[in-house]
Amino acid sequence: MNAEVNRLRARFGGLLTWLLWAHVPLFGAAAAWNDAMPVGTAMTIGAILAAIYHMAWLRYGIAPLTRYLASIVLIGEPAFLLVLFTGHPWQMDMHMYFFAVMALNIAWFDRVALILAATATALHHLVLLYVLPFMVFPGEGNLARVALHAVIVVFQMLVLIWVSDKIRMAFDRIGLMSDELVLKSIALEDRNRAVEESSHAKSMFLANVSHEIRTPINAILGFSHLLQRSPLDPQQRDYIGKLNSAGVSLLRLINDILDFSKNEAGKLLLESHDFDLRAAIASQIQLVAESAHAKRLVIDLQIDENIPQVLIGDELRLNQVILNLLSNAVKFTEKGDVTIRVQMTGKSGGDAQIEFSIRDSGIGMTPQQQENLFTSFTQADSSTTRRFGGTGLGLVISKQIVEQMGGWIRVNSTPDLGSEFSFMVRLKASCAPVQPLPGTNSCLNGLKVLVVDDNPMSRDIIHAILARWDAQADLVSSGPEALSMLESRAKDGRPYDLVLLDWRMPGMDGLETLHEMQENICLDRLPVTVMITAYGIDEALSDRDRRAISAVLRKPVDPQNLLDILHQLFPARAGSPGATPDRISATIPRLRDDLRGQRVLLVEDNAINREIAVELLMDAGVQVDCAEDGLQACQKVLRGGAGYAAILMDVQMPQMDGIEATRQIRMTRSAEDLPIIALTAHAYEEERQRCFAAGMNDHICKPVDPRLLVETLQRWLKAPVTPDAGGQVPSATPSAGDLPDELPPFDLPSILRRVNGKPGLARRLIVNFAETYAKVGEDLSALLHEQRVEDAGRLAHSLKSVAGSLELSKVSDLAARIEAKLAQNELFGVLQLVESLAIEIAPAIAAADGLRPSTSLQPPHAEKPCDPAEARAMFEELCRQIARRSLSARQGFRDYAKATGLSPESCVAHPVMQALDRLDYDTAARLLRAGYPSQDAIAVASA
């Protein structure tokens, strides 16, 4: 039975109880009015009828017995009223009450109750007809009239039964519909739950994939960054540049996939900061300039002068949209031009409405292709033989970003005539001044530069960069023009200091131009030459070319890379403010002076990431302790947490992850007292919020940007209020006293520039050079006598590179000549060159030997007592670090030396430390096994 029908029965049953009891006083009033019987008797009969039903209701509720009794009792009410109105004119009117109470039984939705009520009514009339005929029909008893009444009663009963059935059927249908709705609702909830679980699983999968991919990308970009700081020849620098570009491209692809996932879930958050719109567009044009030039395309930029110089918004996301549309325009255009038009279409308050238009003269699109253009993973040409690559996500992501910036994007295209993509974004105008390019040293001011490039866009970009550094640049588009300008300026006595020479040019290319420069008798002094190229140039360079080319700059030209090269090629004059090591190494991200020397804890389980981070942090000016998981981090903080200024915490680690480790640390150390910065490959906003919820102060996404790392540390580190002069940790930048003022034949100022102004590192390089190549003449002769020509060539090549880095030009030239002869298997005259090399290198070896510290084979005496247990634990940790060949072993040895009381000078001079500085882990392990530092040192220290 339908539950809704039962609820209606229950309500009617309760109402009927009150109705029957209400008849009791009614009967008393009728008896008193018509004086048909005593009032008490009438009320007693009414009470009996009401009580019969009431007791059934209380005991059985809406059960059939209650319903059947109710139908009889209800008919008894008008029957008794007939008796009470005997002889009264209203007696016949009481017959109408039969039909009323009979209709009430429909509320039971029970056929049997209606039939019983109709039967009781008919029997009542028949009984009265034969027993008390004049009570029903005062004139005379009339069977025909009784029969007519019975027919009417039956008809009413049938109508009520039909209505009751229809109502019940309607309730049944409603019940079935309700059940179906409930089932469908449950199914829908299950499907929604499944979709949410699927979405969560997808998000977790993408997050994990992002983490796994970003970890090796972090290694690629991190080591590329570190290698670019080291002395490299042009070929090596070109290799590293290509490696870095490949890593950045892979990272961009991963970010596209993650951006699409975030946009799909509505979780992509836009940042807001000041940026120069014109510089941002120029940087994106530079990224496609070489591809456009290869197709002979002209890129025309038109920017409305009314657009504010500095705007507030998400520069990275806006650049993403511009680059996507611009690269598509270049990709799908074979000839003609690409026009970028930027104009301000409205301004209200502080908001500027900026509209961008990128028009090309390419292949165009049909209306059908345009309809699906902003659909995920869809391209205009989706065939397996399509000419153009891509994932089909770029325009979808661009549309989502633009709409999130409060704008729109649309396309207008005609096949074979080209396409025009337009989009509008809303940005806030800023009153901040334009941020200048990175600082330069004074020698770049007024630098006379000749830019040789057949690509007008590339020439203009380089000219704009140099102009902001106050360098004087002339622009030419070919090799003959460059030679003419060089000759003219040489005759005028105003020769160029620098030539930025493009390699791939029509007619006379860059190398041919360089050869003509070398053979030109009008040029008494050749300017410094930097080769600019977007291609692999290694195989095309001869040894002569490598000596003539000072550096190779890869396209697209990055201002920071160009600045680094210029700082190395044109250092400030000795004695000027720009010649200080700090100035030379200004391009390395470092902390403020008042923040350097503090100790931070690096928690990272990946050995490669750990080594990269240690190098970056030490360059920044802090000392680093390492932990390989969250459990070790908690133990280190518990033992000596007061000495840490901050913690850099990886999130995903074995044993105990970074989230749980942070929660444990926060039980004893507040965020104000000990900042914790997340280092994670997860790029999701949920991950950031999870880190913040655990108690972390900030979040850095891998691959780690060195400048962002330093900026974040600078934001959270606190300068010591009253530093302890006796226990102050030395700055990461060594003092100039680590080297003498002069050390011929080494050119110390040039060497310092190459090593970013680090005297300690320069000293180690010189000493290691002497240790490695002290007997290079004998080694080369022995290899040649053994006919190991290839090995001899490798040794000569290595010497050429290292000697060049240490400014030993004659040694480098001799090694290069030996390498060239051996490469061509031309052995005649090689031994004479080897002898000349041994004579030429001898003064350098002798000078380097003068830098060697005098150390005895016994461990240095400790200056102060230490805890033997602590020193032993550090010794064991040092052994493990060396076994893992970890860069952190150097810091481990410093910690061990400090624990055993060794002076800083003794630590630097120790053979184990020297081996670790050379990354010679085998020698370091051998020295440790041989007793450097032996456990006797601990005993001496504790005595």
Please tell me the predicted confidence (pLDDT) of residue 232: 67
In the numeric block, which tokens belong to residue 470? 């106050």
pLDDT at 398 over 70: yes
Using alpha carbons, select from 682, 693, 676, 692 the residue that is nearest to residue 636: 676
Cα dihedral: 314, 318, 319, 320 (round 10):
110
Q: Report DSSP letters for 516-551, one per residue.
A: HHHH-TT-SSPPEEEEEESS--GGG--HHHHHH--E
Q: Report DSSP letters for 254-305, one per residue.
A: HHHHHHHHHHHTT------EEEEHHHHHHHHHHHHHHHHHHTTPEEEEEE-T
Q: Worst-scoring range by mean pLDDT, 40-49, 69-78, 897-906? A: 897-906
Q: What average pLDDT does this structure show over 248-273? A: 67
User: pLDDT for 103-152, tens place per residue?
Assistant: 888 888 888 888 888 888 877 766 665 555 555 555 555 666 667 777 77
- Long-range contacts formed by 690-694: CB under 8 A, 24+ apart: 690/659, 691/651, 691/658, 691/659, 691/662, 694/658, 694/659, 694/660, 694/662, 694/663, 694/666
Rounded to whole angstroms, the Cα distance separating 552 from 502 reads 10
In the numeric block, which tokens belong to residue 733? 């930048």
Please tell me the predicted confidence (pLDDT) of residue 870: 73
Neighbour count for residue 637 (Cβ, 10 Å)? 23
Q: What average pLDDT does this structure show over 871-882? A: 81
Q: Which residue has the tokens 């396209």?
A: 555
Is-contact 655 629, C-beta < 8 A? yes
* 3-state SS class at 492: coil
pLDDT at 810 over 80: yes
Please tell me the predicted confidence (pLDDT) of residue 450: 93
- Which one is predicted more confidently, 306 or 824? 306
**pLDDT bucket at 648, cuts 50 / 70 / 90:** very high
Please tell me the predicted confidence (pLDDT) of residue 409: 92
In the numeric block, which tokens belong to residue 698? 């900030």
Neighbour count for residue 205 (Cβ, 10 Å)? 11
Please tell me the predicted confidence (pLDDT) of residue 797: 74
Mean confidence (pLDDT) of the chain = 77
Is-contact 47 24, C-beta < 8 A? yes
C-alpha torsion sign, points 630, 632, 635, 639: negative
**Most confident listed range (228-242, 433-447, 642-656):** 642-656
Q: Using the 8-state DSSP alphabet, how is residue 746 labeled?
A: B
pLDDT at 433 over 80: no
**pLDDT bucket at 732, cuts 50 / 70 / 90:** very low
Please tell me the predicted confidence (pLDDT) of residue 722: 47
Q: Worst-scoring range by mean pLDDT, 456-465, 552-561, 665-674? A: 552-561
Q: Worst-scoring range by mean pLDDT, 75-89, 433-447, 641-655, 745-759? A: 433-447
pLDDT at 623 over 80: yes
Bridge partner list, 411: 421
Please tell me the predicted confidence (pLDDT) of residue 933: 47
Using alpha carbons, select from 905, 877, 909 the residue that is nearest to residue 891: 877
Q: Where are the alpha helices (DSSP H) in 717-758?
A: 748-754
Rounded to whole angstroms, the Cα distance separating 562 from 559 reads 5
pTM, two decimal places: 0.42
Tell me whether strands 273-276 and 351-360 are parallel, antiparallel or unpaired. unpaired
**pLDDT bucket at 941, cuts 50 / 70 / 90:** very low
Please tell me the predicted confidence (pLDDT) of residue 867: 63
Using alpha carbons, select from 323, 209, 195 the residue that is nearest to residue 265: 195
Q: What average pLDDT does this structure show over 882-910? A: 74
C-alpha torsion sign, points 895, 899, 903, 907: negative
pLDDT at 611 over 80: no
Please tell me the predicted confidence (pLDDT) of residue 534: 67
User: pLDDT for 4-24, tens place per residue?
Assistant: 778 888 888 889 999 989 989
**pLDDT bucket at 51, cuts 50 / 70 / 90:** very high
**pLDDT bucket at 859, cuts 50 / 70 / 90:** very low
Rounded to whole angstroms, the Cα distance separating 678 from 704 reads 11
Residues composing the chain: 943
- Which one is predicted more confidently, 912 or 928? 912
Please tell me the predicted confidence (pLDDT) of residue 425: 94
- Which one is predicted more confidently, 370 or 235? 370
Please tell me the predicted confidence (pLDDT) of residue 537: 61
Residues 6+ apart with CB under 8 A from 914: 764, 767
Rounded to whole angstroms, the Cα distance separating 834 from 806 reads 19
Is-contact 924 915, C-beta < 8 A? yes
CA 227 to chain centroid, in Å, comes to 25
User: pLDDT for 90-101, tens place per residue?
Assistant: 776 777 787 788
Rounded to whole angstroms, the Cα distance separating 558 from 531 reads 14
Burial class (CB within 10 angstroms; exposed 0-12, middle 13-18, buried 19+) of 216: middle
User: pLDDT for 308-333, tens place per residue?
Assistant: 888 998 888 898 899 889 988 998 89
User: pLDDT for 262-318, tens place per residue?
Assistant: 565 555 677 788 888 888 888 788 778 778 877 878 888 888 888 888 899 888 889
Rounded to whole angstroms, the Cα distance separating 292 from 289 reads 5
Please tell me the predicted confidence (pLDDT) of residue 737: 41
Q: Report DSSP letters for 751-805, one per residue.
A: HHHHTTT-HHHHHHHHHHHHHHHTTHHHHHHHHHHTT-HHHHHHHHHHHHHHHHH
- Which one is predicted more confidently, 387 or 259? 259
pLDDT at 365 over 80: yes
- Which one is predicted more confidently, 808 or 732? 808
Please tell me the predicted confidence (pLDDT) of residue 826: 80
pLDDT at 83 over 50: yes
Q: Which residue has the tokens 């952190």?
A: 888
Please tell me the predicted confidence (pLDDT) of residue 265: 55
Using alpha carbons, select from 623, 646, 797, 801 the residue that is nearest to residue 718: 646
Please tell me the predicted confidence (pLDDT) of residue 154: 78
Q: Worst-scoring range by mean pLDDT, 629-638, 652-661, 795-804? A: 795-804
**pLDDT bucket at 342, cuts 50 / 70 / 90:** very high
Is-contact 662 637, C-beta < 8 A? no
* 3-state SS class at 869: helix
Rounded to whole angstroms, the Cα distance separating 931 from 925 reads 10
Please tell me the predicted confidence (pLDDT) of residue 359: 93
Rounded to whole angstroms, the Cα distance separating 556 from 283 reads 9
Rounded to whole angstroms, the Cα distance separating 47 from 40 reads 10
User: pLDDT for 565-609, tens place per residue?
Assistant: 787 777 643 333 333 444 434 456 778 878 888 889 999 887 767
User: Quick one: residue 434, left, alpha or beta (phi over 0 = left, psi -120 to 50 = alpha)?
Assistant: beta
CA 826 to chain centroid, in Å, comes to 55
Please tell me the predicted confidence (pLDDT) of residue 727: 37
Is-contact 533 568, C-beta < 8 A? no
Q: What angle do CA 593, 595, 601 make, to 5 degrees?
A: 140
